[in-house]
Structure 1
Amino acid sequence: MPQLFLDSMLEHCLELGASDLHLHPATSNYLVRIRVSGHLYPFKNISFSLGDKLISFLKFNAQMDIGEKRKPQSGQYERVLRNQKASLRVSTLPNKTGRESMVLRVYRYAEPLPFLETSLFRGTAKAIFQSCESQTGLFLFSGSTGSGKSTSMYSLVSELTHQTEKQVITIEDPVEHYHQDFLQVEVNERAGLTYGTIIRSILRHDPDVLIIGEIRDAETAQMAIRAALTGHLVISTIHASSLTGIIARLEELGVSKENLRHCLLGISFQKIQALYCPLCQGTCQLYCKHLSRKRTVLYEVETEQNKLKRMLEGQKDEPILSLNKELQKGFCYGFF
């Protein structure tokens, strides 16, 4: 019963392009909700009995502790539905009554969108692509959670390596996008496989391009810089709220300005922007099929080396391609 119900919900999620499925414990039942294009929609209500069975079933498949309901847990497993392979990341969190809530993130294993098509405005994507083409060094993406940073990284590297044979190695926690041509390594801190230790080993594995899921600590930052300085192209993400915040965050992690001057190719801050649907007269509704894409990525980019050096000195120049200008252009053209 839980398997059939779950498959039905997952097929619905895949059909609508949903990124997350929520099981929220309400007063008398579980509320099932789905997130599509950044918006959360109610899907259906199910009984506590079915909801508990469903959570236990998912925890079992994701190799989580079924008997532990008092602590947050997370896990992951893969499922094939309608001949489409998907990775399911399971996260549980107990509420004050001890009943668990659950969020299921759905990652589709599909060919990434060509990088120059990720944004309506190709100029920003082209600037990023050209800064990394036939180069070695470090390029960093930043943006809020769910802004598509990992997707951008995979799309960029796929396009960079499309016509030339390169050894691409990825380090992720967990692996979110399957790519048959990349060597993908998953972080496992219980087994001692941290970002830092994996990067150290990977540098002896003759990589051309290194994708690091996130620079989140000093060890990872130092190893990423080392890889960039020793003739590799390193693409990664970092948590920051602006372009200048990226530089500040790197300094917090102990990266020297001198090293950044020698290896930083460029930085980008991105956000997801909903597209205006003329049929819905606003943000596209859940079941509307009028638009082939309901959202686009907007990039704020700095790749000009002199400006990057001035940013490292604390000066605030407007980036060559700013987010505000992209938004203004989009509103003028009626895209947003």
Structure 2
Amino acid sequence: MIGISQIETAAERIAGHVVRTPTVPSPGLSELLGVPVTAKLELLQRTGSFKARGATAKLLALSEAERAAGVVAVSGGNHGIALAVMAAALDVKATVVMPRTAPARSVEIAEAAGASVRLTDGMAEAFATATRLRDEGLTLVHPFDDPVVVAGQGTVGLELAQDADDLTDVLVSVGGGGLIAGIAVALSALRPGVRVWGVETEGAEAMSAALKAGGPVPVTVSSISTTLSAPAVSQLTYDHVSALVEEVLVVPDRDAVQGCLDLAEHAKVWTEPAAGCLLPAARLVRERVGDGARLGLVVCGGNATTADIVSWAERFGLR
């Protein structure tokens, strides 16, 4: 288990390299949900998601030999973008392994940043390829199975604790669990009365499956939310979530896309399904907690194109 001191160290390390993103009350979402809502706008982060934090923390912690050898990451999109862009900024050679289902735009951005991109037939093969490249000498920057990366992501929670008004419940999207693990540590230390809820989409249920099984288990990935599509969580993230998180809620892809449309209309932000899933989950939390709820939503990323959202909306019959 990491501690708040490691998150504070990460915050000092990455300051000046990443954005301290806005934490703002959302009148539109507050009216929609019927309770006060605060949004942590991590989609305004460098590279369009929170992933820049963990990637930068890890890159800045490398030894000279590791920097010279180069780094490798496996990603469904956002972690790869973050590593490619931040590695280029820090003059480190990067290789990014992505499944062919990753958004084409993510591949383009990683390549434009100068990374070598390798495509595989699925996330399991992507992780296997990245592991092989690590064994050949590259330093693996794991998206969630690394205390340094988790501490970097935890700086989101550090800022939320410092900048938000009183909150009762915070909702965080879950892929491999690095973001929610770090945020849960920060909030348990600085806002100990706040409940943390995880949110997954159907077909990207690695953490909820692990909680049911009592530890990490492989899952079949089918969600359109590729940025949440980890084939399994790690023991590291599982330990944090099982100890510090209230519950992990699972919502359908259709509801996540509707959440994207509602966030655009009511919160005036353009998100991806990994963030859109927060809105239907927030309704569930609101029902459970009641009128006294004061919700915080960690809007984790916005790397979806207009064409993506239109295509998904048409697929699910949404207007």
TM over 0.5: no
Structure that is richer in helix per residue: 2
- Bigger relative CO (Cα 8 Å, ≥ 6 apart): 2
- TM-score (normalizing by structure 1): 0.27
Larger Rg: 1
